[in-house]
Amino acid sequence: MEVVVARTRDELVRARAAMPGRVAVVMTMGALHEGHAALIRAARQAADSVLVTVFVNPLQFAPGEDLDRYPRTFDEDLQICEREGADVVFAPTEDVVYPQPALVRISAGPLGDVLEGAVRPGHFEGVLTVVCKLLQLTIPDVAVFGEKDAQQLALIKLMVRDLDLGVAILGVPTVREPDGLALSSRNRYLSADERLTALALSAALRAGVESAPDGPDAVLAAARGFLALVDGVDVDYVACVSEPEFADLAGSSYSGPARLLVAARVGATRLIDNVRVAIG
């Protein structure tokens, strides 16, 4: 069946009312790739009907970030949604999502100020505000997000818990190229040489995982040590956090489920990646 495209709030209300059974939403900023396709497939498994949102949210970009050049590929996005069996695509313009400037926003709390939040102040406030609005507009039973944005996923779970939003949140593992590069809409900014350099991020994570039996500091030292040997990677942070709390494990003797995260610039492109690691 052909996917229904809703551009306005009225069109969304009509399309949503016609969706049978349990509804899953997949929120995206477009520029869809196989990682998003995996989210749509997971949504299909989790519910009877699937709604994909495509909206580049200005609120989560700081001045000077890549809002203006963020890839917009709606025709290809629609093909992927159709191929993966999405039922509805909500693709609003900015004035549909923000008919008035968003004066009231969702504070991300302490987890919003560290790691990505420390490098990108205000980013998670913008993410949570639009995610909350899109949940209100699409009224799903379940919302599906990628583990690639692990801190975002942790914060969305916290928001749903703390604000009693009554929706199930499903995390889906990161999809990688055969050589390890995590799929990202921003990979298309990379030149061929930069793409090769960018492989250092996933390789550093693998190096960290190998040191898991020796504790958090060994994991961090292995990942950082790997990156220090690579030219052309400008590291923002390497961190190891407990799951699901996302507590910083540096200097601790923690053992248990954790996540190793890296953020770095390769050329002008900022990339993030992470892996699960069982410490101890």
**Catalytic: which of 16, 33, 36, 148?**
36
With H, G, I as helix, E, B as strand and everything else as coil, classify residue 275.
strand
Which C-beta is closer to ligand PAF: that of 171 or that of 216? 171
Q: Among positive and negative, which fits the CA dihedral 278, 247, 203, 183?
A: positive
131 near ligand PAF, rule: CB under 6 A: yes
106 near ligand PAF, rule: CB under 6 A: no
Find the binding residues for ligand PAF in span 133-152 (CB under 6 A).
Answer: 149, 152
28 near ligand PAF, rule: CB under 6 A: yes
Which C-beta is closer to ligand PAF: that of 60 or that of 211? 60
Which C-beta is closer to ligand PAF: that of 60 or that of 269? 60
What ranges in 84-177 are assigned the alpha helix state H?
94-97, 116-119, 123-138, 150-162
By the 10 Å C-beta count (0-12 exposed, 13-18 middle, 19+ buried), 85 is classed as: middle
Find the binding residues for ligand PAF in span 46-75 (CB under 6 A).
Answer: 57, 60
Q: Residue 10 CB, nearest distance to ligand PAF (Å)?
A: 22
Q: What is the CA angle 73-75-79, rounded to 5? A: 115
Q: Which of 6, 15, 25, 29: binder of ligand PAF (CB under 6 A)?
A: 29
H/E stretch holding 146: strand 142-146
Q: Residue 130 CB, nearest distance to ligand PAF (Å)?
A: 5
Q: Residue 133 CB, nearest distance to ligand PAF (Å)?
A: 10
Please give the full DSSP string across 60-105, using - where no structure is assigned: G--TTSSTTTS---HHHHHHHHHHTT-SEEE---HHHH-SS---S-
Q: Does residue 33 have an active-site annotation?
A: no
The residues of the shown chain that bind ligand PAF, judged by CB under 6 A, are 27-29, 57, 60, 127, 130-131, 149, 152
Which residues are catalytically annotated? 36
